[in-house]
Structure 1
Amino acid sequence: MNALLSTAFVLTWSSGFIGAKLGAGSASAVTVLMWRFLPLALVLGAVALTLMRDSWRGLTARDIGRQALVGALSQSGYLLTVYYAIQLGVSSGTTALIDGTQPLVAGALAGPLLGQFVSRTQWIGLGLGVGGVVIVTAADFAGGGDTAWWAYLIPFLGMLSLVAATFLDRRSTRHVGPAVSLTVHCLTSAVVFTALAVAARSATPPAEVSFWAAIGWLVTLSTFGGYGLYWLILRRSGVTQVNTLMFLMAPVTTLWGAVMFGEPFGPQTVLGLAVGLAAVVVVRRGERPRAAGAPAGRGTPESAKPAAKARTGQ
């Protein structure tokens, strides 16, 4: 089951970068994001008021506010930087690989914030992952035409936003069901992106079929698929586990982007992706399984699992 969930997560999360590229061809980033979330938020809000009332019982205004903040970081902040970078000319594969540096940041913070153990071997793997990012980004920048150098820094802001949301969610002791979380996150994003689009006078959607095809792609594959699976796997397996999968987004997205959009895929890109894949292998081998009968306490890779399972009912 974990292997199937991981595979589905990699494919659907990668689809978001491709969908962003599809949407960038017909509208600005805030326009695409507004119409990705506004209809979805209306539907989820209606369902929450009619079919999911029991899921909201016992939740306080503070709980909802915390989830709204998580949504603002993990959806609004993260997606805006990804879409804007792609709109500026950064390739979808490079954006995906930069976002894949999440394990380094998450690994550095997992110990002091969550008490999760990160081994020396895992740190070596995480360092390899950063090396892969540097190689691919350099290749993309060299062939990026008029893309400004600072555009390559924007995806790092999105990565930091998602890492912050991850730790904010994991430090919560209150059970909030996935359906409630997704609803609050999407409602928050709809408000944020609608406000930004109206302020930028970009709220009117284009009439092109390609725009609405991109919206359908993003809602179905990226939101319900990638975003939903991110939180599911996070709560089942922990921060380090789910974030190491981010290294796999880059090769999938790069191949996808090369086929669909003719994005660069030369020897230097292949080398960087190979280094990124090697990082995944090293990080996985660096995991230390918990001894039989050992408590899931501080200093073990499983330290956050009991709380995570309690919040998801698993």
Structure 2
Amino acid sequence: MNILLSAAFVLCWSSGFVGAKLGTEHAGAVTLLMWRFLPLAAILVAVAIGRGWASWQGLTTRDIARQIAIGLLSQSGYLLTVYYAIQLGVSSGTTALIDGTQPLVAGALAGPLLRQYVSARQWLGLCLGLAGVAVVTTADASAAGAVAWWVYLVPFAGMLSLVAATFLEERSRTQVTPLVSMTVHCTTSALVFTVAAFAAGAAAPSSAPSFWLATVWLVTLSTFGGYGLYWLVLQRSGVTQVNTLMFLMAPVTAVWGAAMFGEPFTVQTAAGLAVALSAVAVVHGASPRAGHERVTTARRRPRPHPPRSPTPR
């Protein structure tokens, strides 16, 4: 089951880079993000109302505030930088490469912040994964000579934003259901991007069919699929293993781009994909006794669950 969840997460998360490229061809990043999150927020709030807010019982104002902060970091901040970078000319593969450095940053910080120490074998897998991602996207990055150097700092800032959200979630002692977190995160992002779009005079959507295709694509595959599975896999596997899957994003994005946009898929791309796959196998095959005894101890700390509501008759 974990393998299937991991594979689905990689495919759905990679779809976000492809959908961003498809949507920003006809509209700005803020416009696309506004129309991505407005219907999402409406659907999720309607579901919450229909369920009688049962999943929200037991949550404090502090819990909701933490989820708002996580949403601002993991959705608003992260996605805006990714979309804006692609809009400025950074290719989807290079954006995925910069996003793929997240495991090294998260792995380095997991020990001092979460007491989840990374074993030597895991560090080997992390470095191997970074090498595989670099092999795939080096040629693409060198070919994009017309893009200013500072533009590459935009997706890097987004990567740091997602890392911060991950650690903020991991330090929480209250277990929040995926439905509640998704509702808070998407509603927060809808408000942020709607205000930003109207302030920039860019709220009107594009009439191009590809814009609406990208919107549906991003709502279904990227948000419900990729974003939802990110937190699910994080809960089941921990910071290091879930972030190692990020190494697969650049190779998979390269394959997807070749199939959908006619981007070249070379021997170098295939080699990088093979290296990234081996990196994931190394990390996921690491012995839990070597470097994860402290992780297990830290994660076994009980989190209070919100009380269940009476079963409706």
Alignment-derived partner of residue 109 in structure 2: 109
Distance 2:194 2:297 in 1: 39
Alignment-derived partner of residue 294 in structure 1: none
Unaligned runs of 5+ in 2: 308-313
Alignment-derived partner of residue 45 in structure 1: 45
RMSD: 2.3
Identify the range of structure 1 (13-22 vs 83-92) with the bigger mean alpha-carbon deviation. 83-92
Letter in 2 for 1:17: F
Paired residues of 1:115 and 1:303 also in contact (CA < 8 A): no
Identical residues among aligned pairs (%): 68
1:306 to 297, 300, 307: 300
- CA drift at 1:309: 8.1
Matched, 1:155 2:155: yes
- CA drift at 1:88: 1.6
Post-superposition CA distance 1:120-175 (Å, at most 9, x none): 12222222333344444431122225222222222211111111000001101012
Paired residues of 1:111 and 1:299 also in contact (CA < 8 A): no
- CA drift at 1:198: 1.2
SS in 1 for 2:47: helix
Distance 1:229 1:310 in 2: 22
Q: TM-score, normalised by structure 2?
A: 0.90
Distance 1:4 1:124 in 2: 24
- CA drift at 1:301: 4.0
Distance 2:61 2:258 in 1: 46
Alignment-derived partner of residue 235 in structure 1: 235
Alignment-derived partner of residue 24 in structure 2: 24
Identify the range of structure 1 (90-99 vs 72-81) with the bigger mean alpha-carbon deviation. 90-99
Distance 1:310 1:60 in 2: 12
Alignment-derived partner of residue 182 in structure 1: 182
Identify the range of structure 1 (234-243 vs 258-267) with the bigger mean alpha-carbon deviation. 258-267
Report 1:229-268 matches (<5 A): 229-268=229-268
Distance 1:97 1:52 in 2: 42
Distance 1:268 1:310 in 2: 49
Post-superposition CA distance 1:9-29 (Å, at most 9, x none): 111111111110110111001
Letter in 1 for 2:103: P
* CA separation of 1:148 and 1:234: change in aligned 2, threshold 3 A: same
Alignment-derived partner of residue 200 in structure 1: 200
Q: TM-score, normalised by structure 1?
A: 0.90
Post-superposition CA distance 1:288-308 (Å, at most 9, x none): 2249xxxxx984343454358
- CA drift at 1:264: 4.3
Paired residues of 2:244 and 2:283 also in contact (CA < 8 A): yes
Distance 2:270 2:90 in 1: 17
Report 1:72-151 matches (<5 A): 72-151=72-151
Unaligned runs of 5+ in 1: 292-296
Matched, 1:211 2:211: yes
* CA separation of 1:228 and 1:186: change in aligned 2, threshold 3 A: same
Distance 2:179 2:205 in 1: 28
